[in-house]
Structure 1
Amino acid sequence: MSIGRFALGSPVVLAPMAGVTNIAFRTLCRELELERTGTVSGLYVCEMVTARALVERHESTMHMTTFGPDENPRSMQLYTVDPEYTYAAAKMIVDEDLADHIDMNFGCPVPKVTRKGGGAAIPFKRRLFAQIVAAAVRATEGTDIPVTVKFRIGIDDDHHTHLDAGRIAAAEGAKAVALHARTASQRYSGEADWSEIARLKEHVTEVPVLGNGDIFEPPDAVAMMEQTGCDGVVIGRGCLGRPWLFAELSAELNGLPAPTPPTLGEVAQIIVRHGRLLADHHGEDKGMREIRKHVAWYLRGFPVGSDLRRDLALVTSVDQLVDLVGTLDADAPFPRDGHGPRGRQGSPAAVALPQGWLDDPDDDAVPAGADVMHSGG
């Protein structure tokens, strides 16, 4: 699969996830793919950053745009609601060589985002959505930086927007589109409707179409591509606590032998490596606070006592982390029930929207206050 000038060795993309897909996690995923397959072939996207916060150079946002010296391509995801800030942010990325690829997020279903008209609410406003995508493409003209767009099926079952969004994004110059096959009202609950990915693929033929939703094992990726005809897959919650999943996916999709699932001892080594990378990026105090949630995902299904799990949930230093995981049963095999979704799922709910948001899909007014938020939210 190719996205602009980038020919990927496997059609697999890491979905941006707040508080997860920082330089530490991306480095770990890349290292494990290289170790287990001999190559780094996927696309690893950083945490979502807010266009306005990037332009205003908020310290935390600038820190989130950190890439490793060997990351190629450097892929940055923008959250934006305003064509002017979109252009300024994309132009800043170009002028300061901050990234090699810009992905745009129109899929966030979080109430604090949608109630102000951001995230998954934006594609309903067709003209505004078109102007935002066009602004990013215009800012990258004359460069080899591709712009891609990710969105959901729509706001709810009565307001599907993905077919229009795909058509508009391609027409405005996006080099690929990705569909999370849920509505915003589903959030992360229920099942993804892969049939809507197939519909989008039939509707959008000019650029690659990627599918996202409910890929937890390599056969899931194969099944999605066979059932929908999509060109690639985007992996989110399936890789939480399993950063080696990209190696497994790369092997499956390239006809290579499947890597052996890690033992608990090997997982312990991965946890320590992840913790060190987080400490390098954030400092030890924040790095250890960040590793705690990952440890719970890593240990899912393994025979680990409640006392040790509690101690790991309170870890405060890298040395303590090393000591604690050193007491794990190194020979314990990867558990049968260690697969499946991790992280947030939630329940379906009505989508919070600004008053009158659904009255006029052609209204291109920028929603007030929707971009005044911290990156990664």
Structure 2
Amino acid sequence: MTSTTSVLPGPLRLGALTVDVPVVLAPMAGITNAAYRRLCAEQGAGLYVCEMITSRGLVEGDEATRRMLVFDELETTRSVQLYGTDPRYVAEATRILCDEFGVAHVDLNFGCPVPKVTRKGGGGALPWKRGLLGEILTQAVRAAEPYGVPVTMKTRKGLDDQRLTYLDAGRIAQDAGCAAIALHGRTVAQAYSGVADWDAIAELVAAVDLPVLGNGDIWEAADAVRLVEQTGAAGVVVGRGCLGRPWLFRDLAAVFRGETLQTLPTLGEVATMMRRHAELLVALMGPERGCKEYRKHVSWYLKGFPVGGELRRALAMVSTLDELDALLADLDHMAPYPVSELGAPRGRQGSPRERVVLPEGWLDDTDGRDLCLAEDAAETSGG
């Protein structure tokens, strides 16, 4: 390793919570369960956030919601992302997380672009209603305050390029007492398409006094360095870039220590990581469900490697760890990492949307404090 000359941010401070490496794993539905969080944490330090849960689901005791609130025995800092549109539900859910689950950090999701969420005024649609956003944030911060738990928020640039909300959202978050704000440099209309606008992150950094975390298009550790240098962000949030590449957190931890590291594992080393992931999932969920959950990760792990279609299909249909072991043994363990995949987008991308699906009359005003929005008890997504 060689030392770099870049001046990079030090530990991330969220209220009383200190994160040694200013890197946050973005919650991803069906991905960032306790098994995956442990797998990533074994690679490097950072803050690893649980899958997003709904405030109403938690308050009303929804079983599916509570099953998601499972933490690995080594998770000393429990972090959860919460979705909600009703200040009362969000406040009570925050209190439950702090009081009953020992959570040390609560993040509120106002960035989800999924139509089934935005059509109810949730996720990335909600910051359009500035008054409602402020009320939700204020209530959540008050609920967490007795426990000394910091509350942060995640958002996007706005609904579309004509309806930007991120600067107002930053001011509102600061006034409400939030410990930080994370900005995904895309609009809701963009979803995951196109290129993230890091200039918007820099504008938000200049506009507020609380820490700003940059999110979007961090595919390699070098991208994280460029983002913080270009924007002045206090840290980064990493989502799709770590799909099938949990060792990215090893590289991120290294660069934020001022070292240069880029992990290029052989296919054999990737196979070892795949086996570890499956093992953790089986321990968490049991053999049948654990192997089923594992299958979705196979294509990400093998992306770009010379693996035949028949073997890929078989690996994506495994039902036991013994079966997985036999198939992994058939891989060419000496195959080098496909450098063509470095810096390439991973996971969903898609196309921008012609319009954002919103509740009727949503754009008529920007307050919304008196709204009574429908909130599903078991909504799952991410931002």
Correspondence 1:353 to 2:358 = yes
Which residue matches 2:17?
A: 6
How far apart, in 2, do the equivalents of 1:98 and 1:352 lie? 36
**Shift in Å at residue 365 of structure 1?**
3.1
User: Which one of 198, 204, 216 corresponds to residue 202 of structure 2?
Assistant: 198
User: Is the deviation greater in 162-171 or in 249-258?
Assistant: 249-258
Amino acid at match of 2:247: W
Aligned equivalents of 2:329, 2:379: Cα separation in 1? 37
Q: Among 27, 33, 36, which residue is 1:25 paired with?
A: 36
Q: Distance in 2 between matches of 1:276 and 1:54?
A: 29
> 1:148 aligns to what SS in structure 2?
strand
SS in 2 for 1:289: helix
Separation in structure 2 between the aligned mates of residue 281 and residue 43 of structure 1, nearest angstrom: 20
Flag the 1:371–1:169 CA change in 2: closer, same or farther, 3 A: farther
The reply to whether residue 154 of structure 1 matches residue 154 of structure 2 is no
Residue in 2 aligned with 1:53? 57
Worse-superposed segment, 252-261 or 171-180 = 252-261
Query: Structure 1 residues 68, 62: closer, same or farther in 2, change over 3 A?
Result: same
Aligned position for 1:99:
103
1:166 and 2:166 equivalent?
no
Any conservation in 1 of the 2:124–2:155 contact (CA below 8 Å)?
A: yes
Residue aligning to 1:327: 330
After TM superposition, the structure 1 stretch with the greater mean CA deviation from structure 2, 330-339 or 22-31, is 330-339
What corresponds to 2:8 in structure 1?
A: none
Residue of structure 2 in register with 1:245 after alignment: 248
- Preserved contact between residue 81 and residue 371 of structure 1 (Cα < 8 Å): no
CA distance in 2 between counterparts of 1:277 and 1:366 reads 43
- Counterpart secondary structure, 1:337: helix
Alignment deviations for residues 248-292 of structure 1 (CA, whole Å, 9 cap, x no partner): 011012123515421111110110110111112222222112111
2:26 to 4, 10, 15: 15
Task: Give the match for residue 216 of structure 1.
Answer: 219
Q: Show the 5 A alignment for 1:125-144.
A: 125-144=129-148
Partner of 1:263: 266
- Whether the 8 Å contact between 1:302 and 1:338 is mirrored in structure 2 is no
Tell me, yes or no, if the aligned pair for 1:147 and 1:175 is still in contact at 8 Å. Answer: yes
Question: Is this contact kept in 1: 2:65–2:378, CA < 8 A?
Answer: no
Which residue matches 2:191? 187
Name the structure 2 match of 1:370: 375
Shift of 1:376: 4.7
The Cα RMSD (Å) is 1.3
Paired letter, 1:247: R
1:264-303 equivalences in 2 (<5 Å): 264-303=267-306
CA distance in 2: counterparts of 1:66 and 1:98, whole angstroms? 11
Alpha-carbon distance in structure 1 between the residues aligned to 2:352 and 2:132: 27
Normalised by the length of structure 1, the TM-score is: 0.95
1:72 matches 2:83: no
**C-alpha distance in structure 2 between counterparts of 1:363 and 1:144, whole Å:** 29
1:23·1:66 contact (CA, 8 Å) conserved in 2? Answer: yes
Q: Which runs of 5+ in 1 are unaligned?
A: 34-40
Tell me if structure 2 keeps the 8 A contact 1:117–1:367. Answer: no
| Aligned-pair CA distance for 1:211 | 0.4
CA distance in 1, matches of 2:175, 2:220: 34
| Cα distance between partner residues in 2 of 1:140 and 1:116 | 26
Query: Does structure 2 conserve the Cα–Cα contact (< 8 Å) formed by 1:81 and 1:366?
Result: no
Give aligned-pair identity as a percent: 54
Contact 2:247 / 2:263 at 8 angstroms: preserved in 1?
no
User: 1:5, CA displacement in angstroms?
Assistant: 1.5
Does the 8 Å CA contact 1:45/1:74 hold for their aligned counterparts?
Answer: yes
Identify the residue that residue 37 of structure 1 maps to in structure 2: none
Q: Secondary structure at the match of 2:172?
A: helix
Unmatched runs of 5 consecutive residues or more in structure 2 = 1-11
Q: Does structure 1 retain, via aligned residues, the 8 Å contact 2:110–2:155?
A: yes
Q: Deviations over 1:290-322 (max 9, x none)?
A: 111111000001110111011112111121111
Instruction: Say if 1:302 and 1:335, in contact at 8 Å, map to a contact too.
Output: yes
Taking structure 2 as the reference length, the TM-score comes to: 0.94
After superposing the two structures, state which structure 1 stretch, 334-343 or 75-84, moved more.
334-343
- 1:180/1:213 contact within 8 Å kept: yes
- Is 280-289 or 13-22 further displaced after alignment? 280-289
